[in-house]
Structure 1
Amino acid sequence: MDPITAVAVAGVALIAKGTLEATGQEAGRAGWGGGARFIERLRARFRGDAEAEEALEQVRQRPEDTVAQDALTRLLLAHMLRDRDFESEVRRAVDAVAARGGRGQVNAAVIKNSQVFNEKVEIKGDWNIS
């Protein structure tokens, strides 16, 4: 997965997690209070793009729906690719979670089969792929 796609996937996972936290389904495990702010920022960004607005609402209504998450990821990625400043903004929001110890807060239980890379991966020694 390329880095910009990973950021989009992580951003959608943060939206889903923020929605779950707001509804109390993850009470006691809240690790990111910026979920609502991030959602409002995306609402403002998506204003006028009916498909993106609907995708965001679908994830808010059903945060564990992987089909809705995939649709929102695709649209978020498209907006990020069109506007590098917006991409940087989303990247900063995702990085802020990691900087506050958010590692593990965006987890497989929330994002299901998506892969998210929040940290640098280092490989030392011999490494063979067959």
Structure 2
Amino acid sequence: MDPITAVAVAGVALVVKGALETTGQEAGRVGWGGGVRLVERVRARFRGDTEAEGALDQVQQSPGDTAAQEELQRMLLAYMIRDRDFEAEIRQTVDEAVAARGGQGQVNAAVIKNAQVFNEKVEIQGDWNIS
């Protein structure tokens, strides 16, 4: 996965995380306030493009919908490729999210499902059931 695609995947994961926190599905978890800023920035950039706005709205309404996540990722990637300043803003926001977690990213498989994720180190705690 090339770096710009990885940023798009991470950006969508932050949108999903924010949507889950808003709906209470991840209540009790310490949130990172930049997620709201990311969504506002993406919404402002998508303004006027009904297809892109719809993709963002769909993920916010149904954060577990993988097809909606993929569509938002496609839209976000297209906008980042066309506008390198926008890409830099999204990249900075993703970097801030990682820094807010102490420099370590957290993978939530329930959120990202089938997305490719690159990690330096994976640690698993608790019970592990494979079905």
Deviation at 1:28, TM superposition (A): 1.2
Distance 1:13 1:43 in 2: 15
Spell out the pairing of 1:26-41 with structure 2 (5 A cutoff). 26-41=26-41
The within-5 A match list for 1:25-104 is 25-101=25-101, 103-104=105-106
Letter of the structure 1 residue corresponding to residue 105 of structure 2: R
- What is the CA–CA distance in structure 2 between the aligned matches of 1:58 and 1:115, rounded to whole Å? 21
Q: RMSD over aligned Cα, in angstroms? A: 1.6
The count of aligned residue pairs is 119
5+ residue gaps, structure 2, are 122-131
CA apart distance, 1:119:
5.4
Q: Give the TM-score taking structure 2 as reference length.
A: 0.85
- For the residues of structure 2 that align with 1:44 and 1:92, how far apart are their CA atoms? 17
Residues 8, 73 of structure 1: 8 Å contact kept = yes
Kindly indicate whether structure 1 or structure 2 has the higher relative contact order, using CA contacts under 8 Å at least 6 residues apart.
Answer: 1
CA contact under 8 A between 1:98 and 1:118: conserved in structure 2? no
Percent of paired sites with the same residue: 71
